[in-house]
A and B are shown apart, each in its own frame.
Chain A
Amino acid sequence: DVKVTQSSRYLVKRTGEKVFLECVQDMDHENMFWYRQDPGLGLRLIYFSYDVKMKEKGDIPEGYSVSREKKERFSLILESASTNQTSMYLCASRGTGENIQYFGAGTRLSVL
């Protein structure tokens, strides 16, 4: 089974802090994704990566950056957290040639 692990289930940070959300997958997938989930809005894509050090902006990249230094790990970075970034963040991965995304359990981030 594909396993996508997000290092934190809950995080509480202060406005202006730099925040790192980590995601690791164990299936050697080339593609990894970060989504933000808000009530009534479904999932919105922040960034995705199709290879090590390669990334593309999704639909709502403002205020976020990402890092993919190793194939199995994809990090989401909030350079200066703001209260409007309080949300549930979901990581996903996908293998090449396969159109199914596998999701982690999510990180619920509160920015105070």
Chain B
Amino acid sequence: AQSVTQPDIHITVSEGASLELRCNYSYGATPYLFWYVQSPGQGLQLLLKYFSGDTLVQGIKGFEAEFKRSQSSFNLRKPSVHWSDAAEYFCAVGARDNFNKFYFGSGTKLNVKP
């Protein structure tokens, strides 16, 4: 069965520090991979996506993610976190053979210390 695991429920980092949010997935083939961000009281905004090609993808707001097939992972990174990055982050997997099938992780809440 398809699943997405975000092992960290909460993460706190200091402003200016680097960030890595983990995402592991279980899927029969290489899926489409996404990271979304949800600011408090808001809907989900797409940060970045991986469909094929270069396994390191760049997104908005200075985020990047790396697809590692051997580890079934798609971790999100940012070299220097800003206070405005405090939000909840969701990893998602999309089926290549059915664009209406999306599987979301349970989310990681990021707190940023001044």
Contact = CB atoms under 8 A, between A and B. Distances in A.
Interface residues of B, number: 23
Interface string B31-60: 010101000011111100101000000000
Interface of B: 4, 9, 32, 34, 36, 41-46, 49, 51, 90, 94, 96, 99-100, 102, 104-107
Given A43-B90, A100-B49, A31 B99 contact: yes
A4 B43 contact: yes
A69 B51 CA distance: 33
A104 B43 contact: yes
Contact of A42 (B32, B90, B99): B90
Nearest to A92: B44
Interface in A71-110: 90, 92, 94, 97-106
A102 B36 CA distance: 10
B106 A101 contact: no
